[in-house]
Amino acid sequence: MTLPNVAQNFRQQSPLVFCLTNAVVTNFTANVLLAAGAAPAMTNLPGEAGPFASVASALLVNLGTPTTEQLTAMREAVDSASAAGTPWVLDPVAVGALPVRTEFAKQIVGQRPTLIRGNASEILALAGWDSTGRGVDSQDSVDTAIAAGRELARKHGSVVAISGEADAIIDAERTTLVHTNGIGLTKVTGGGCALGAFCAGMLAVHEDPFEAAVAAHGFYGLAAEKALANSGGPGSFAVAFLDALAATEPHELEELNYEELPHA
Amino acid sequence: MTLPNVAQNFRQQSPLVFCLTNAVVTNFTANVLLAAGAAPAMTNLPGEAGPFASVASALLVNLGTPTTEQLTAMREAVDSASAAGTPWVLDPVAVGALPVRTEFAKQIVGQRPTLIRGNASEILALAGWDSTGRGVDSQDSVDTAIAAGRELARKHGSVVAISGEADAIIDAERTTLVHTNGIGLTKVTGGGCALGAFCAGMLAVHEDPFEAAVAAHGFYGLAAEKALANSGGPGSFAVAFLDALAATEPHELEELNYEELPHA
Amino acid sequence: MTLPNVAQNFRQQSPLVFCLTNAVVTNFTANVLLAAGAAPAMTNLPGEAGPFASVASALLVNLGTPTTEQLTAMREAVDSASAAGTPWVLDPVAVGALPVRTEFAKQIVGQRPTLIRGNASEILALAGWDSTGRGVDSQDSVDTAIAAGRELARKHGSVVAISGEADAIIDAERTTLVHTNGIGLTKVTGGGCALGAFCAGMLAVHEDPFEAAVAAHGFYGLAAEKALANSGGPGSFAVAFLDALAATEPHELEELNYEELPHA
C-alpha cells in the first residue's frame, strides 16, 4: 500500500467533505477536517442536501442524532451521491440500541456505501448479528465483529471499518488491522464520528477505498498518539489532537504498524 | 453525608446518562460526562426517546433550545422515565424569559422530576414568583430563590438545586449550601447545563437524591477551582476543567465546604 | 473614529446578543461572546424568536445550517427586530452555493439588515454578481467584492463587511480596510460566524454601525494575532483566541492598522 501518497493527495486536494452528522460532534468534526487539511461543509435541509452531495468531494451520513427532517435530507443526499458517483460513508451510530435509526440504516445500507465505519456493536447490529451495545459504547470486541464486517462488505460492496483497540479494515477480499494507541480518543466525544468524516475525505482522493480507509485510520491514530504524549487529560487531549492532525506529515505513515490478516 | 462514596459509585458504575439538551452545549455536556467517568448518549427523535429513557441510567431534560420535535421527544422520555423509575433532571433554562418553554416547563414539572436545577431567576419563574431574568443570566441572588425552591420541592417531591455564588440544594426537609469558587464556569457556555447532566449521573448511583445533588455540585465545584488555578482565561479554563474532572478523586469530597441551613 | 470607546461600551454594557445561528458554531459563538464580555442567548423556536428579538440588544441571523423551523423563527425574529429597532446582522453563509438559503437571503436582505457580514463569494452572490464559491470557502478575493458590497450597502441601507486577508467595511459613503493577521481563524470552524455575533454586540452599543463594525473587526483581529503568537496549531489557537478576547483591552484599538479608501 502507498499510504503516504494517499495522505499527500488529501493535503494537496483539500477535499470538500459534506457532513450530515450528529448535533454533538458538528464542531469537533469540522475542526478535525480543517486541521487535517480538508474543507468541511454541512447542511441538513432537504432541497439543499441533494444538490450539494453531487458537487461535494465526499459525503458522510452519521446517524447519531437524527431529526425527521435530517433523515429526509440524508435520503436525498445518498440518492444524489449515488447518481453522481460521490463516495460516501455510513456511520451507524447506536444502531441496534435505538429503533428508528436501526430501521433507517438497514434500508440505506442497501444503497452500497463506499465505507461503513462503526464500533463492533454497531457493525454486528447492522449485519443483523447478536450484539450487546447500549448506545454509543461498544460492548463487543473488534474480533467478534470481523466476520459480520466481512458479510456486510460482500453483501453491499462496501469497505467496513471497525474501530476498537486495533481498527479492522475489511473488504470482500482483504482484512487489515491498524495498530495505534487511540485510548485518548475514547475519552473525547466524537472521536469516532470525526474519523468517519476524515475517512470520507480520504475516499475522495484515492481510487482504492480500502487503502484510503487504512490511510485514514493510520494517520488519525498517529495523531492521537502524539496528542496523548502532549496532554494531561481529556480536555487538553482534544486540543492537542487537533494540533497533531495539522502537524502530522504524510510520510509518517511509512512507519505505521499494520497487519494483513489471512483471507477468511 | 457520605459524599465520597457517591462519587466513588459514579466512577465504578459509569452511568449511562441520556441527555435531551440544548444545541449550544451538547458537545461540552458529553465531554463533561466522559471526563467525569460517565457515558453520555443523546437522541432527540420521538420513537427513540421513549424507549431509550427506560434503559438509560438517568435522564436530563434541558430546555435551552427546544424544537417542536424535541419537545415531543421530551414528553415521551419523561413519560417513559417516570414509568420505569429512571431518575430525571429538569433544567428550566430561560424559563420566565421565553414563553413556549415556560408553558412547557410548568406542565412537565408536574411529572415530579427527581431534581430541578437552575439559576435563581429560573427557579423563581418556575415557582411562579417574580423574577428579573433576561434569558440565561440570573439577575436574582440564590438567597432570594431559596423559599421558592422549597415551595417547588414540597409541591413536586423534587430536590431543587440553585446555582450561584454558593449553590443551594433543597428538598422538603433540608437546605444545604455548597461553597466552591465556580467563577470560571460563569465565563464558559454550558457550565450550568453540563452540571445538570452530571447531577443526573449522580442520581443514578445513589439512593438519596439530595445527597447525590450535593455530591455532584461539590465535585463539580472542586474541579472548577483546580481549573481556575491552571488557566489564563475562559478558553484554557474550559480545557483545564475537563482535565480536572478526570483527575479529581472521590475522597477529595471529604474536604468540601458545605453548610446545612436550619429548616425553615 | 473612536474605536476604543466602542469597545469600552461593549465591556460596560454587556449586550444581550440573540443568535439564530448554525449548528456547527453555536458553542464557539457563545464562548466568543462570553469571553469578549457580552451575554449570548439562543432559541430557534417560532413563538419565542419574535418576542426575544424585541428585548435582546441585537440579533444575528446566520444561514449556515437552517432547518425549516429555524427559517420560520428567523423571519419572525427579523420582523420583530425591525419593528423594535433592534440592530441585526445577516450572515449569508454559503449563499450562492446552496439554493434554499440563497432564495431566503435574497428575500430577507430586503428587510434592511444593519450589517451584512460574509466572505467575498457570499457578498458577490448576495448582490447577484458572478462568484466561484463552493460552500463556506471563499474562492474570490475581497477586492473583487468591494463594488458588490457597495451596491448592497446602497440598496439596503446596510453596512457590509467582507472578511478576507484584509477585512473591508463598507457603507454608502465609506470604505475602510482593517489590516490584522487573522490566518489562525481560517483553520478554526466558526471564526467568521462568531465574528458576526460579535459585530451584532458592537452594533448594540454604538450609534454608528460603520464604526461599530470596524471596531468589532479590529478587536477580533487583534485578539487573533495574540492567539497566533500563543499557540502551536488550530486546536490551541481556538483556546488561546478565547483567552485573548477576554484579555484584550479597548485601548489597544488605538494601535489598529486600518485604511480609509477613497469614495468610489
| DSSP state, residue A111 | G
CA angle A128, A134, A137 (to 5 degrees): 100
Tell me the three cell numbers of residue A158: 462496501
User: Would you tell me the crossing angle of helices B3-13 and B191-205 to the nearest 10 degrees?
Assistant: 90
Give mean pLDDT, residues C227-246.
Answer: 98
Amino acid present at A20: L
C193 touches chain A (CB under 8 A): no
Question: Any binding-site annotation on C74?
Answer: no
B45 touches chain C (CB under 8 A): no
Q: Where are the beta strands (DSSP E) in chain A?
A: 16-20, 39-41, 58-62, 88-91, 115-119, 159-163, 167-170, 175-179, 257-261
Residue B140 has a pLDDT of 76
A27 touches chain B (CB under 8 A): yes
Backbone region of residue C131 per phi and psi (left: phi > 0; alpha: psi in -120 to 50; beta: other values):
beta
| DSSP state, residue A86 | -
Residue C7 has a pLDDT of 98
Q: Which residues on chain B are in Cβ contact (under 8 Å) with A136?
A: 39-41
Q: Do C16 and B68 touch (CB under 8 A)?
A: no
Model confidence pLDDT, tens digit, residues B168-180: 999 999 999 999 9
Residue B143: pLDDT band (50, 70, 90) is confident
**By the 8 A CB rule, do B73 and B46 touch?**
yes
User: Would you tell me the crossing angle of helices B191-205 and B26-36 to the nearest 10 degrees?
Assistant: 40
Q: What average pLDDT does chain B have?
A: 95
C219's CB contacts (< 8 A; 6+ apart) are C3, C7, C36, C198, C245, C248, C250, C252, C253
Model-wide pTM > 0.90: yes
CA distances to A97, A170, B140 from A148, in Å: 17, 10, 57
Residue C137 has a pLDDT of 61
Which single residue is written with the C-alpha cell 460492496? A157
> Backbone phi, then psi, for A169, in 5-degree steps?
-110, 130
Model confidence pLDDT, tens digit, residues C168-178: 999 999 999 99
**Which residues, in sequence order, are bridge partners of residue C176?**
C169, C260
Q: Which residues on chain C are in Cβ contact (under 8 Å) with B100?
A: 45, 47-48
Residue A135: pLDDT band (50, 70, 90) is low
Residue A133 has a pLDDT of 59
Q: Which residues on chain A are in Cβ contact (under 8 Å) with B65?
A: none
Q: Do B35 and A135 touch (CB under 8 A)?
A: no
Residue A136 has a pLDDT of 59
What proportion of chain A, given as a percentage, has pLDDT over 70? Answer: 96
Q: How far apart are CA B194 and CA B89, in angstroms?
A: 11
What proportion of chain A, given as a percentage, has pLDDT over 90? Answer: 92
Model confidence pLDDT, tens digit, residues A141-161: 888 899 999 999 999 999 999
> Is the per-residue pLDDT at A18 higher than 60?
yes
* Domains with residue ranges and CATH for chain C: 3-256 (3.40.1190.20)
B64 touches chain C (CB under 8 A): yes
- Which candidate in B22, B44, B65 is best for mutational testing of the C interface (most C CBs within 10 A)? B65
Residue A127 has a pLDDT of 96
Give mean pLDDT, residues C127-148.
Answer: 78
Model confidence pLDDT, tens digit, residues C107-120: 999 999 999 999 99
Residue B142 has a pLDDT of 82
Q: Do B45 and A66 touch (CB under 8 A)?
A: yes
Model confidence pLDDT, tens digit, residues A217-226: 999 999 999 9
B236 touches chain C (CB under 8 A): yes
Q: How far apart are CA C237 and CA A31, in angstroms?
A: 12
Residue C133 has a pLDDT of 59
**By the 8 A CB rule, do B123 and B138 touch?**
no
Q: Do B65 and C43 touch (CB under 8 A)?
A: yes
Helix, strand, coil shares of chain C as percentages rounded to 5?
Answer: 55, 15, 30
> Is the per-residue pLDDT at B132 higher than 90?
no
**C50: nearest Cα among C78, C19, C28:** C78
> Is the per-residue pLDDT at A138 higher than 70?
no
Q: State whether residue B91 is helix, strand or coil.
A: strand
Model confidence pLDDT, tens digit, residues B60-91: 999 999 999 999 999 999 999 999 999 999 99
Residue A21 has a pLDDT of 98
B239's CB contacts (< 8 A; 6+ apart) are A235, A236, A238, A239, B231, C239
Give mean pLDDT, residues C90-110.
Answer: 97
Residue B262: pLDDT band (50, 70, 90) is confident
A119 touches chain C (CB under 8 A): no
Amino acid present at A52: F
Other Cβ atoms less than 10 A from the Cβ of A251: the count is: 12
Residue A134 has a pLDDT of 58
Residue A106: pLDDT band (50, 70, 90) is very high
Amino acid present at B202: M
ipTM over 0.85: yes
Give mean pLDDT, residues C115-142.
Answer: 83
Q: What average pLDDT does chain A have?
A: 95
Q: How far apart are CA C67 and CA A68, in angstroms?
A: 11
Residue B47: pLDDT band (50, 70, 90) is very high
**What's the sign of the alpha-carbon dihedral C9, C12, C18, C24?**
positive
